[in-house]
Amino acid sequence: MIRRVYLKSLISFESLELNLTQGLVVFSGPSGAGKSILMNSILATFGYATAEARLCEVTIDKPTKLLCDAYEFDEEITLKSIKKEKVRYYIDGQNISKKSLRTLFSPFVRYLSVRDRGGFESRELLEMIDRALSHHDRAFKKLKKEYQRRYARYRHKQEELERINAQESQLATLMEFTQFEIEKITAIDPKVEEEQELLTVKHQLSRIDKINEALSEASGIFAFEASVNEVYRLLERENSGFEEMMNQLRADFEDVALLADELAEVDIEGVLDRLEKLSELKNRYGSIEGALAYLDTKKKELASFQNLEVDKGMLETFLEMEGHELLLLATQLRQFREQEARRLEEELIGYLDALKLPPLGFVFDSIALSEMGIDRVDLDLDGSTALTLSGGEFNRLRLALMVVTMVVGESQGGVLILDEIDANVSGDESIAIANMVAKLSEVYQVFAISHQAHLASKAKQHILVSKSGGKSEARSLDHAGRVAEIARIIGGENPNIEAVQFAQKLID
């Protein structure tokens, strides 16, 4: 609910502060005093209208279901609009666009305008019927919950099948290209450590001739081995170190000779060709490991393509069976709804008769399975549609539907702002409107500009908007003030005693 409104520099209002209550809040006063201007500023703070006040600040209780990742909310929220060169909007000190503001609060702040011809679309009518049904029929509530859960899964599977069908036209090309990429890498069959080993061999091959030449010359050292040993003997010195060195040298020379023999068998062109292929893989995939990872991915892709036909068959079977089951559930939902619609039609008779509106009937048609079932609902008003009504009649019919489908306690904290709801109506219509609005105020905090005594008399809080010397002001009335204002509505600026007594009677 809205707890406080503060305005500054709003056309004829210098400043204004109002503390508001839950229930029905009625604004009344002479024509031109500024009632519509004041209401417009409240609407503007929620993004519904153009801000005219230099400053408008509205304090509200945080709606229970208000959630938004972009903003953090306290239990009490302050909305503010500031008009300088342009209008800026804030929520708890955080900047917000007008569009975002309206989107954020539209589920909690409803504005019914004579210019708005919405509210009787099929989905909204079904939601009205379902809300009333769910409140008093647990079987329907359970059934609808099961239907929505299963339909969500059904729709997900439908989307999977749509993706498969979209892929089928390209599937052969995709499979051919994927198979080509797999074969290209598989044909090379790269190993992670292979390149380094080949580079080593390449390096050795580039030096093998020099190695053989040096080895041939160095082998002459063994011709002097016996002479060196004789010198050690004549000197009577230990020669084990020399012999050990010569044995190691002999073994090393033998290893070099074996390597030379092995390298002589190596296909040099083959090594170079292999290195070139590995280099191509590295250039394309970043590394040999990357190429092997890509190969694994492509193999899985190919397997998934090959499984598409199997998946498609399974999806088609599931959708056929589940579609049949959902159709049965949706048919049961319709039976509940049609029964509830007849009940609502009966409950509406008294309201519509008092409003001088024709009887209303809910007309059900069948559509394809959807989130709401198989139902499309229209309104029949004695052979006509709701669009044939005037703006005021349309608005009052919408109120009547809201009354018979509302659930007390479900929407506590919501705000309902009514635009010219009782303007230009007869006495009987005025009474009916007042009763409907009072009923709605059990659920909503209702703001309405009153043109009739009956609606004003139902107010939980009655605010008088007056104007003097070109300056407007607004104040909340006490009991005596309410009697005087309602008497003025009844009898004009100088009401007689009968008007005062009638006003007293209405309030009491």
Map out the domains of the chain with their CATH numbers. Answer: 2-108+413-477 (3.40.50.300), 154-313 (no CATH)
**Per-residue tens of pLDDT for the chain, all 508 residues:** 999 999 999 999 999 999 999 999 999 999 899 999 999 999 999 998 888 999 999 999 988 888 787 787 888 999 999 998 899 999 988 899 999 999 999 889 988 877 777 778 999 999 999 989 998 899 999 999 999 999 999 999 999 888 888 777 676 677 778 888 888 888 888 888 888 877 877 777 777 778 778 878 888 888 888 888 888 888 888 888 888 888 888 888 888 778 777 777 777 787 788 888 888 888 888 888 888 888 888 888 777 776 676 778 888 999 999 999 999 999 999 999 999 999 999 999 989 988 888 999 999 999 999 999 999 999 999 888 888 888 888 888 988 999 998 876 554 558 999 887 888 787 888 889 999 999 999 999 999 998 889 999 999 999 999 999 999 999 999 999 999 999 999 998 889 999 999 999 999 8
Rounded to 5 degrees, φ, ψ at 57 are -125, 125
Q: Taking the alpha carbons of 122, 125, 131, 132 in that order, is the dihedral positive or negative?
A: negative
Question: Residues 285-329: pLDDT tens digits?
Answer: 888 888 888 888 888 877 777 667 677 888 899 999 999 999 999
Count other Cβ atoms within 10 Å, centred on residue 456.
Answer: 28
The torsion angle over the Cα atoms of residues 186, 187, 191 and 196, rounded to 10 degrees, is -150
pTM: 0.68
Give the pLDDT score at 12. 93
Neighbour tally for 121: CB within 10 Å: 12
CA pair distance 256, 261, nearest whole angstrom: 9
63 secondary structure, DSSP code: P
Residue 314 in tokens: 């399974």
How far apart CA 421 and CA 27 sit, in angstroms, is 12
Confidence at residue 27, expressed as pLDDT on a 0 to 100 scale: 95
pLDDT at 450: 87
| Rounded distance between C-alpha atoms, residue 215 and residue 55, angstroms | 99
Alpha carbon distance 253, 472 (integer Å):
114
Strands, E, within 296-359: which ranges?
A: none
- Contacts for 505 with CB less than 8 Å, ≥ 6 apart: none
pLDDT at 417: 92
Give per-residue pLDDT as tens, 183-236.
888 888 888 888 887 787 777 777 777 877 887 888 888 888 888 888 888 888
Residue with tokens 């599931």: 318
The rounded distance, in Å, linking the Cα atoms of 506 and 458 is 8
What pLDDT is stored for residue 151 in this prediction? 97
Tell me how crowded residue 3 is: count the other CB atoms within 10 A of its CB: 16
- Residue 69: what pLDDT? 77
User: Looking at this protein, which amino acid is placed at residue 268?
Assistant: I
Q: What pLDDT, on the 0 to 100 scale, is given for residue 447?
A: 96
CA–CA distance, 406 with 435 (Å, rounded to integer):
14
Q: Could you give the maximum distance between any two Cα atoms of the chain, in Å?
A: 157
> Do 376 and 367 touch, CB atoms closer than 8 A?
yes
Closest CA to 59 of 38, 74, 70: 74
pLDDT of 410 reads 57
Measured on CA atoms in the order 408, 411, 414, 417, is the torsion positive or negative?
negative
Instruction: Yes or no: say if 332 and 379 are a contact pair by the CB < 8 Å rule.
Output: no
Instruction: Report pLDDT for 412.
Output: 56
3-state secondary structure 357-407: CCCEEEEEEEEEEECCEEEEEEEEECCECHHHCCHHHHHHHHHHHHHHHCC
Task: Show the beta-strand stretches assigned E in 42-91.
Answer: 55-61, 76-83, 87-91
Closest CA to 363 of 344, 341, 348: 341
Contacts of 187 (CB under 8 A, 6+ apart): none
- Contact of 52 with 34, CB cutoff 8 Å: no
**Angle of helix 268-285 relative to helix 194-218, nearest 10 degrees?**
150
- Give the C-alpha separation, 296 to 229, whole Å: 65
Joined tokens for residue 333: 């939902």
Alpha carbons 178 and 300: distance in angstroms, whole number: 10
- The closest of 140, 165, 154 to 369, measured between CA atoms, is 154
What is the spatial distance between Cα 28 and Cα 92, in angstroms, rounded to a whole number? 31
Q: Enumerate the β-bridge partners of residue 474.
A: 465
